């Protein structure tokens, strides 16, 4: 199984993460931020990646450090689980609908981190969470996961639906991208011979 465990500890956060790429989508997630937990549960469930993640952060200041650092840790575990990325399809895409909302997410597990973020919110907060933190999460995850990630909300009105469609779309795109291509399971999916 492609799996990895790690801890990331700073003066701002203390995070433990364990993932298994060839899982069933089981998860045990606790960041202290209810909405973020809900989104990471969606990511696990719909990607079929098992995720255990525990984060303790300086939530008395705000949610920024815990949000960003949880993504950095999860992305690093994801990248290490992929190893040399041999045999994967590498590319994945999803159209993700949730009620009135539709988002498009495309990934390339290229080991070249990049984020294109075309998502706008009509409110500055979702519950207690600043909506600007969602871009920070996707940016940090793309960076340490080593993926090119395009996230575009095509339309929608409800901010909760917009965010959730992005996380579910990421899950479905990752599921496709990390699946082993049985025709090329011993090959690096690049003309360069390395990712």
Kindly state the tokens that stand for 68. 């960003």
* All residues at 6 or more sequence positions from 63 whose CB lies less than 8 Å from its CB, including other chains: 33, 36, 57, 128, 129, 130, 133
Contact indicator for 51, 33 with CB cutoff of 8 Å: no
* All residues at 6 or more sequence positions from 61 whose CB lies less than 8 Å from its CB, including other chains: none
Q: Please spell the DSSP secondary structure of 60-100, one letter per residue.
A: TT-SHHHHHHHHHHHHHHHHHHHTT-TTB--EEEEEEEETT
Selecting from 3.30.30.10, 3.40.50.300, 3.30.230.40, 1.10.10.10, what CATH number does the domain 3-178 have?
3.30.230.40
pLDDT of 1 reads: 80
Contact indicator for 168, 42 with CB cutoff of 8 Å: yes
Q: What angle do helix axes 159-178 and 132-145 make, rounded to 10 degrees? A: 10
pLDDT averaged per 10 residues, the chain (length 195): 96 98 98 97 98 97 97 98 97 98 98 98 94 98 98 98 98 98 93 91
What are the backbone angles phi and psi of residue 2, rounded to the nearest 5°?
Answer: -85, 105
- Predicted TM-score (pTM) of the model is 0.97
C-alpha to C-alpha distance for 145 and 157, rounded to whole angstroms: 30
Tell me how long the chain is.
Answer: 195
pLDDT of 34 reads: 95
Neighbours of 55 (CB within 10 A): 26
pLDDT of 46 reads: 98
pLDDT of 127 reads: 87
Instruction: List the chain domain ranges.
Output: 3-178
């Amino acid at each position: 199984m492609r799996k990895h465990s790690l801890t990331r500890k700073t003066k701002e956060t203390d995070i433990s993460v364990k993932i298994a790429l060839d899982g069933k989508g089981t998860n045990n997630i606790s960041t202290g931020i209810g909405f973020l937990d809900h989104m990471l549960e969606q990511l696990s469930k719909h990607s079929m990646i098992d995720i255990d993640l525990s984060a303790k952060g300086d939530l008395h200041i705000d949610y920024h450090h815990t949000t960003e650092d949880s993504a950095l840790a999860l992305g690093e575990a994801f990248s290490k689980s992929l190893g040399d990325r041999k045999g994967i399809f590498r590319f994945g895409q999803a159209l993700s609908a949730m009620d009135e909302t539709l988002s498009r997410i495309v990934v390339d597990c290229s080991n070249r981190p990049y984020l294109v973020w075309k998502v706008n919110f009509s409110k500055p907060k979702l519950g207690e969470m600043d909506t600007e933190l969602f871009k920070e999460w996707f940016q940090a995850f793309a960076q340490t996961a080593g993926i090119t990630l395009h996230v575009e909300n095509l339309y929608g009105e409800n901010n909760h639906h917009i965010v959730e469609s992005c996380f579910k779309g990421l899950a479905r795109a990752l599921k496709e991208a990390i699946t082993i291509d049985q025709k090329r399971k011993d090959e690096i999916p690049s003309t360069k011979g390395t990712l």
